[in-house]
Amino acid sequence: MRSSARPYVAGALILWAVALQAHVWSIPDAELRRLRGDSRVSFVPSARGIRRVQKARDEAASDDESAFVVTRKVASDPRSALTEADVAAQSAIVSALRARWPTVKIVGEEDENDDAAPMSPKRGAPLREDLCAAIETCDDARLRTMRVKSEDVTVFIDPVDGTREFVESRLRAVQCLIGIAVRGRAVAGAIGLPFPDGDVASSEACVVYGAVAPGAKRGAVGAHGERGAALEIRFDAENAQVRSVTGDSKNAALIAAKEILRETATKSGATYAHGSIGGAGNKLLAVAEGRAEYALMHFGTSLWDTCAPEAIVRACGGKVTDLYGAPLMHYEDSPGGLVNQLGVVGSSAACEGAISHDAVCSEMRGNEDLKKMLNRFTGGDSSLAFGGDEIQASDVARCLGGGPLSARDVGDRVARAVGAEGDVSLSGYSAPERDAVRGLMSDACRIYFKWSTDDDGRLPRSAFYKKVDMGNLEYMRTKQVTQPLKIARDSKSYAVEASFLASDACKALEEAGIGVPICYAADLRPVHDDPIESKFSLLLEDFHPSDGWEQAKMLRPDQAKCALRALARMHAFFLPGSRFRKSSKAANEDLLATVWSSGGYWQPNMQPDDQMDVVASAWEQHMSSFGAAIEAEPTIDIAVARTVGARLQSHARRIGAETHPFSGCPGADDALRHGGERLAALQTVIHGDPKSGNIFERRAGESDEWEIGLIDFQWTGIGLGGTDVGHFMCASVAPEGLSADGAAENALVDVYYDAFCEAAAEFGAVSSKENAGEELLTREELQVQYENGVLDTMRCVFGYQWLRVKASPESLAKNAQSIGRNSYNKSLPNALWMIRTADLYLKAREARAH
Ligand SMILES: *[C@@H]1O[C@H](CO)[C@@H](O)[C@H](O)[C@H]1NC(C)=O
């Protein structure tokens, strides 16, 4: 077992570095020499050291003969003197950190220099805890209670940021940076300002520090020492509403980025001004402190330049990303090296109105100069012919490490997965914005391929890319506070989907002609003891419209039949008695380890506990919201309808247990025992979320036949086929496939049953189709399972989903055009069907009980 014994670094963790830094600045020279054990060291680390270098320089310049003698080396070569200060500072900082936190990873600008190696860890300087105090008193409970493990922490140190500025005597821009990243995210930082007023004489060094919980909109900030006069930036227009700062680089991408910002601002009616200042930390600090709205940096600033200031900008309510809008990743082993290879844009909290950070980044993604900067990943010009000339979702088309997907890597994987032979390779790809989705819980886009050779038709023209990085999504971070259990559940659901799609079982399913997407590549990085930090990505076969695939808002009867046949074949394929399950113990165990031990997101164990007990009271609300519509509906008797809530509630627990007998929910064991061997023989794998939004269809021949593609296996797990069928009927079928007396639904269940029996024989679970009823499942038994599935879905809809949004004919009408929503969330006839059918199936259940 990993873990519980491992040291957790408290919220306070965040502080030491910061604190340390402030401390280092006040260590007396003698003490430092002692620490360093080297009397030759003539410069005190960090701020103090830098200040001494400058002082010596000042004195030399004043022509004082004795001072000149002492500091000649300094005066003649501030750069080498500074390097020495740099090195000594880093060594002192690292030593103090190591003394307290022996295992955290530390990355410093001077790592290459042997003299920067830490001293004996026992001899680290004591730490100040200013930031700890700021965190303890801040408003954000997440930050106050944050706990991280020391092995997840990386500290980035730049003892002197702004070397050039120092050499050129632009002293305000000189900074000392210590940033703390947790799992690659900048969460805390301290910026030391040795010359807040631009010279040695008029002010003491000071430190600005801040910390912010991942996903929080604000954090704790503070300063140690006199902040001094604000750094002056000369903007080229006074009183502009949008002020940006950059360096004076001639970098084409940076010039393009500046122009985009100017255009976006002026288009929205704001006045724009630009100023140049040195130092990475300095630019971002200007944004944090509200002296500029935007900071732009070119490609290649170092991670130690941005870690501390990013945390402070975020703590002040601002935002920092790369130029394309993806988060910066501060890892000690970042694949792209220790640099921000795609630039940096920081914005202040003040921007989130008209000229929002996201809007600016979206413009960046459409800019030709900036797209060119990604050519080495995307394959560049070769992508132009097929969507590369459009705005790109270049923030979504990223691997889990944060870098852009690489054409070579993607090409190799796809070619291998489809068995394309010879030396075919991907010369380029595009990821157009029009096909991209940035969801609350995941991101997705289409990747269009340009292959090096005309293939024999096996190489796909596109693929579907889905990326789940919950820890970087604000919605998920909030949900973690309000509904922590759901985060663990959601995270597991992505792991289930990714591992199911990548499994041999899924491949076998696909080979058996059941429409599931081919998985070209899957990257799974689950974190079991901190689920929100899990990451997943999937590159899947694309059910693309140009190949004839469509998605319906709701399935017409002919489509519903085909979808039910596909589900039936999947259910039959995974029956315990099937060839697949019996043929190999290993394959069977793999399958069971991959999917949920009980499938279906609406099962009682995955829903709030009180859901079972609120159906009756929720029903009052639904009756008043839908009252007029029910009165106008001749097939529903309002007096009878009123009784449905209480009746459903009285059966809800039993129905839950019978519908999900393998879930271990209350009563499930009884249901299992009661069902005996016959029930055990039906313990198959169900889809778990068979809504029309998860079903693709394309015409097969002239008739009403459709080929079906199933997607979204997040809730796939062990269950009864009838459970999927019941949910499907509630969620997916268009009104013309449903009826007032249940006849149309039963005809659909007949279709399912026929396909199920046939497939059970085909896949070896029964001796013949004709014997399926006797050996496995009768039509009557299926009917009970199916009706349970419907009623169980209704408990979740009436007791939770409708309740949450106060569902009414008006609220449904608003969702009418949605593809993703369930039919009861977007169509009044379907909602009325639910109300009427609840009564019908409850009556059947009540009759069976007698
Ligand atoms: C239906 O609506 C409820 C309330 O908005 C929501 O919680 C649920 O996720 C929706 N489901 C679908 C698939 O439409």
Residue 728, pLDDT > 70, answer yes
pLDDT tens track for 639-655: 999 999 999 999 999 99
pLDDT tens track for 274-328: 998 888 888 999 999 989 999 999 888 999 999 999 999 999 999 999 999 999 9
Between CA 259 and CA 265 the distance in angstroms is 10
Taking the centre of ligand 1 as the mean of its atom positions, its distance from the CA of residue 795, in whole angstroms, is 13
H or E segment and range at residue 539: strand 535-541
Radius of gyration of the chain (CA): 32
Neighbours of 323 (CB within 10 A): 28
Identify which of 403, 416, 489 has the alpha carbon closest to the alpha carbon of residue 459: 416
Taking the centre of ligand 1 as the mean of its atom positions, its distance from the CA of residue 793, in whole angstroms, is 12
User: Residue 249 is which amino acid?
Assistant: S
What is the structure's pLDDT at 777? 98
pLDDT band at 74 (very low <50, low <70, confident <90, very high): very low
825 Cα nearest atom in ligand 1: 1
Taking the centre of ligand 1 as the mean of its atom positions, its distance from the CA of residue 622, in whole angstroms, is 15
* Nearest protein CA to atom 4 of ligand 1, as residue: 801
Look at the alpha carbons of 369, 370, 374, 378 in this order and tell me if their dihedral is positive or negative.
negative
What is the structure's pLDDT at 77? 60
Residue 620, pLDDT > 80, answer yes
| Tokens matching residue 661 | 């007998």
As a dihedral over the C-alpha atoms of residue 237, residue 243, residue 249, residue 251, rounded to 10 degrees, the angle is -110
Residue 28, pLDDT > 60, answer no
242-301+314-366 fold: D-Maltodextrin-Binding Protein; domain 2 (3.40.190)
pLDDT tens track for 144-165: 887 788 788 899 988 888 777 7
Residue 484, pLDDT > 50, answer yes
Residue 12, pLDDT > 50, answer no
Residue 390, pLDDT > 80, answer yes
| Tokens matching residue 28 | 């007396």
The best mutation among 695, 797, 798, 801 to test binding of ligand 1, ranked by most ligand atoms within 8 Å of the C-beta, falls on 801
Taking the centre of ligand 1 as the mean of its atom positions, its distance from the CA of residue 752, in whole angstroms, is 26
User: Residue 332 is which amino acid?
Assistant: E
Cα–Cα–Cα angle for 562, 567, 571, nearest 5°? Answer: 145
Place of tokens 């506990």: 609
* Nearest protein CA to atom 3 of ligand 1, as residue: 801
Between CA 262 and CA 268 the distance in angstroms is 10
Taking the centre of ligand 1 as the mean of its atom positions, its distance from the CA of residue 804, in whole angstroms, is 9
815 Cα nearest atom in ligand 1: 14
Domain ranges of the chain: 8-224, 242-301+314-366, 378-542, 547-848
What is the structure's pLDDT at 98? 78
802 Cα nearest atom in ligand 1: 4
Higher-scoring residue by pLDDT: 188, 86: 188
Total-model pTM: 0.87
pLDDT band at 383 (very low <50, low <70, confident <90, very high): low
Residue 472, pLDDT > 60, answer yes
Average pLDDT over residues 824-847: 97
* Nearest protein CA to atom 9 of ligand 1, as residue: 801
pLDDT tens track for 204-250: 778 888 999 988 889 999 887 776 555 678 887 778 889 999 987 78
Between CA 674 and CA 481 the distance in angstroms is 40
pLDDT tens track for 554-572: 999 999 999 999 999 999 9
* Nearest protein CA to atom 14 of ligand 1, as residue: 821
Identify which of 242, 244, 188, 179 has the alpha carbon closest to the alpha carbon of residue 213: 188
Residue 497, pLDDT > 80, answer yes
Identify which of 130, 166, 35, 165 has the alpha carbon closest to the alpha carbon of residue 89: 35
List ligand 1's pocket residues with C-beta within 6 A: 691, 801, 804-805, 821-822, 825
| Tokens matching residue 751 | 């279709």
* Helices within 118-242 (DSSP H only): 130-136, 141-144, 163-167
What is the structure's pLDDT at 407? 94
Spatial CB neighbours of 220, under 8 Å, sequence gap ≥ 6:
131, 134, 135, 137, 138, 140, 143, 210, 211, 212, 315
Between CA 192 and CA 17 the distance in angstroms is 12
What is the structure's pLDDT at 112? 67
What is the structure's pLDDT at 465? 98
Between CA 290 and CA 810 the distance in angstroms is 44
| Tokens matching residue 774 | 């006797």
Taking the centre of ligand 1 as the mean of its atom positions, its distance from the CA of residue 153, in whole angstroms, is 38
Q: What is the DSSP letter of 392?
A: B
Burial 174-198 (b: 16+ CB within 10 A, else e): bbbbbbbbbbbbbbbbbbbbbbbbb
Average pLDDT over residues 482-492: 89
600 by DSSP, 3-state: which?
coil
On average, the pLDDT of the chain sits at 86
Burial 42-52 (b: 16+ CB within 10 A, else e): bbbbbbbbbbb
Residue 740, pLDDT > 70, answer yes
Taking the centre of ligand 1 as the mean of its atom positions, its distance from the CA of residue 523, in whole angstroms, is 28
| Tokens matching residue 284 | 């971002």
Between CA 263 and CA 275 the distance in angstroms is 16
Q: Are 471 and 525 in contact, with CB atoms under 8 Å apart? A: no
The best mutation among 822, 826, 830, 834 to test binding of ligand 1, ranked by most ligand atoms within 8 Å of the C-beta, falls on 822
Q: Are 212 and 315 in contact, with CB atoms under 8 Å apart? A: yes
* Nearest protein CA to atom 5 of ligand 1, as residue: 805
Between CA 49 and CA 771 the distance in angstroms is 88
pLDDT tens track for 751-791: 999 999 999 999 999 999 999 999 999 999 999 999 999 99
Identify which of 94, 83, 82 has the alpha carbon closest to the alpha carbon of residue 36: 94
* Nearest protein CA to atom 8 of ligand 1, as residue: 801
Percentage of the chain surpassing pLDDT 70?
85
Identify which of 104, 102, 147 has the alpha carbon closest to the alpha carbon of residue 4: 147
H or E segment and range at residue 303: helix 303-315
pLDDT band at 132 (very low <50, low <70, confident <90, very high): confident
Between CA 25 and CA 43 the distance in angstroms is 12
* Helices within 468-529 (DSSP H only): 474-482, 484-501, 504-511
* The listed CATH number (3.30.470.10, 3.30.540.10, 3.40.190.10, 3.20.20.140) that belongs to domain 8-224: 3.30.540.10
Is 158 one of the annotated binding-site residues?
yes
Neighbours of 686 (CB within 10 A): 29
689 Cα nearest atom in ligand 1: 13
Identify which of 668, 689, 673, 662 has the alpha carbon closest to the alpha carbon of residue 598: 662
Is 780 one of the annotated binding-site residues?
no
| Tokens matching residue 767 | 């001796």
Taking the centre of ligand 1 as the mean of its atom positions, its distance from the CA of residue 820, in whole angstroms, is 9
826 Cα nearest atom in ligand 1: 14
Between CA 358 and CA 438 the distance in angstroms is 12
Q: Are 28 and 555 in contact, with CB atoms under 8 Å apart? A: no
pLDDT tens track for 111-124: 766 666 665 545 55
Is 358 one of the annotated binding-site residues?
no
Q: Are 496 and 717 in contact, with CB atoms under 8 Å apart? A: yes
| Tokens matching residue 26 | 């006040």
* Nearest protein CA to atom 1 of ligand 1, as residue: 825
Percentage of the chain surpassing pLDDT 90?
62
Neighbours of 642 (CB within 10 A): 14
Between CA 309 and CA 316 the distance in angstroms is 11
In terms of average pLDDT, the best of 86-100, 353-367, 373-387 is 353-367
DSSP strand pairing (242-246 vs 294-297)? parallel
Taking the centre of ligand 1 as the mean of its atom positions, its distance from the CA of residue 819, in whole angstroms, is 12
| Beta bridge pairs of residue 8 | 149
Residue 95, pLDDT > 70, answer yes
Is 161 one of the annotated binding-site residues?
yes
What is the structure's pLDDT at 26? 38
Average pLDDT over residues 573-599: 95
Taking the centre of ligand 1 as the mean of its atom positions, its distance from the CA of residue 659, in whole angstroms, is 21
